[in-house]
Amino acid sequence: MKTERLNAYFPGVRSYYIIGEIAIVTPKRVNVDYNLVAQKIMQAHPKIKAVYLKKKVKGELRTNELEFLSGERISSTIYKENGVLFYVDIVTVYVNPSLSGDRLKNVELVEEGSIILDAFTGYGAIALNIAHKKRAYIVAGDVNIDGLYMLKKSLSLNKIKGMIDIVQYDAHYLPFRDKVFKLSFGDNPTLIIDFKEELCRVSENVVFYILCESKDKANSSLGKTEWVKINDYSKNLFIFKGVVRC
């Protein structure tokens, strides 16, 4: 869950997220006593066991670089989103609860009985949200084996309507036949252009996420469609989402 903003108490601090028993603070400037911030958060939420400071998202696996602030040095927890339970380790997968609403909207794009690919599944956020509500067959794949093990654990925590198969692969070379998927989800905003051709090869339609400056840039990079801004990344960069017919 996303909580109240902290900048009224600590200028320079934007907000923080609670993921199960863990809170992650999003900084704006570095000249803030984040130990005091952590103490205030833990006082306000006694169930929180650990507080971390988010530095940046790094590497091909898109993991958070985190600085431990207070509490117990735990990184694994279970959190609930849209009625779905997720087992996550915040050190080895990227977790962003602010996109829970967008993931719920993805369910509306899926037809009952269709074959779906969650191409960069991570810990299974998109796949499980869909399977929880739709009787679809979903392939959830990623190069990050740690995230796939988390998804496997999460499957045992939930009652789902659909079916999920978990596959490890390099998405540059997807191990699937041409046009086998009715719809694929390409949630890898920073690198998605590199995977466009392969995703379109195996899919009739792809829901692309892209980090760029404008809708025009998204159109020229991935195809003309109705691009929707779903998140602000920085002053001049945004995450856009659009469904492209391949």
Same domain, yes or no, for 219 and 164?
A: yes
Of 172, 129, 176, the C-alpha closest to 151 is 129
108: left (phi over 0), alpha (psi -120 to 50) or beta: alpha
Q: Is 223 part of a structural domain of the chain?
A: yes
Same domain, yes or no, for 120 and 176?
A: yes
Same domain, yes or no, for 169 and 205?
A: yes
Report pLDDT for 65. 82
Q: Which domain holds residue 35?
A: 4-73
**Tally of domains in the chain:** 2
Q: What is the CATH number of the domain that holds 20?
A: 3.30.300.110
Q: Is 89 part of a structural domain of the chain?
A: no
Q: Is 193 part of a structural domain of the chain?
A: yes
Backbone φ and ψ for 48, nearest 5 degrees, come out as: -70, 130
Comparing 25 with 1, the larger pLDDT belongs to 25
Q: Is 142 part of a structural domain of the chain?
A: yes
Q: Is residue 34 scored above 80 in pLDDT?
A: yes
Same domain, yes or no, for 35 and 107?
A: no
How far, CA to CA in Å, does 209 sit from each of 41, 102, 243? 32, 11, 9
Report pLDDT for 1. 46
Distance between CA atoms of residues 13 and 191, nearest Å = 29
**What mean pLDDT comes out for the span 203-219?**
97
